[in-house]
């Protein structure tokens, strides 16, 4: 799987209600978790995400962030559960595509390539212009032994982004 989607900054759906005087922004505790994560402080990020989730147990962005921290720490089973929850809670639209893409990365790391391909098929259904999603789908399909479908996914990635790295 392409590691790029796993290392991108974590974003949240949770924002304060914007007004003319106050633009939309993330709540401070969740922002701190995301800043720790982005700065490479996984222990602090994990603590902050867990604190936020103790107050807001269904926050998809925090579930996603904590899932990524666990994935990056090699705790794939915990990451899988957290990312599945994030998809269940906030799995619609482009944000859900990001969650599913990272869920698929964990599945791929665990050797569950057919499941990863199913998640990635949903990612590219929601975001058909997402070249990286098509490339990751190709990887999952290739690992599942579905070489012709993989080749088609790779071609689609390249068609969407002519400068896509060769040798995918």
Report the C-alpha dihedral over residues 126, 129, 135, 138, rounded to 10 degrees: 60
Structural contact between residues 38 and 9, judged by C-beta atoms closer than 8 angstroms: yes
Spell out the alpha helix ranges (H) of the chain: 4-7, 28-38, 42-55, 60-72, 76-90, 93-109, 113-126, 131-143, 147-160
The separation between CA 25 and the C-alpha centre of its own chain, rounded to angstroms, equals: 21
pLDDT at position 96 is 86
Condensed to tens digits (0 to 9), the pLDDT of residues 117-167 reads: 999 999 999 999 999 999 999 999 999 999 999 999 999 999 999 887 755
Pick 92-168's CATH classification: 1.10.600.10, 2.60.40.10, 3.40.190.90, 1.25.40.10: 1.25.40.10
User: Top-level CATH class of 26-90?
Assistant: mainly alpha
pLDDT tens per residue across span 18-43: 444 544 555 567 888 999 999 999 99
Round to whole Å and give the CA distance between 31 and 49. 9
CA torsion sign for 66, 67, 68, 69 is: positive
What ranges do the domains of the chain cover? 26-90, 92-168
Q: Which of 117, 114, 130, 128 has the alpha carbon at shortest distance from 5?
A: 130
| CA dist., res. 37 & res. 129, Å (int) | 28
Q: Do domains 26-90 and 92-168 have the same CATH topology?
A: yes
Task: Encode pLDDT of 59-106 as tens digits.
Answer: 999 999 999 999 999 999 999 999 999 999 987 777 888 999 999 999
pTM exceeding 0.85:
no
How many CB atoms lie under 10 A from the CB of residue 153? 26
């Amino acid at each position: 799987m392409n590691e790029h989607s796993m290392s991108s900054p974590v974003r949240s759906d949770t924002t304060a209600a914007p007004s003319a005087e106050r633009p939309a922004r993330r709540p401070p505790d969740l922002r701190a978790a995301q800043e720790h994560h982005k700065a490479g402080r996984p222990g602090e990020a994990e603590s902050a995400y867990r604190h936020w989730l103790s107050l807001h147990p269904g926050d998809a962005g925090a579930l996603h962030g904590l899932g990524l921290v666990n994935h990056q720490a090699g705790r794939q089973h915990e990451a899988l559960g957290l990312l599945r929850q994030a998809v269940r809670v906030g799995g619609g639209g482009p944000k859900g595509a990001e969650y599913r893409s990272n869920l698929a990365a964990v599945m791929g790391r665990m050797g569950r390539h057919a499941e990863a391909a199913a998640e990635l098929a949903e990612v590219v259904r929601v975001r058909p212009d997402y070249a990286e999603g098509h490339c990751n789908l190709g990887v999952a399909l290739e690992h599942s032994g579905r070489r012709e479908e993989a080749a088609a996914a790779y071609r689609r990635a390249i068609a969407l982004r002519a400068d896509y790295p060769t040798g995918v």
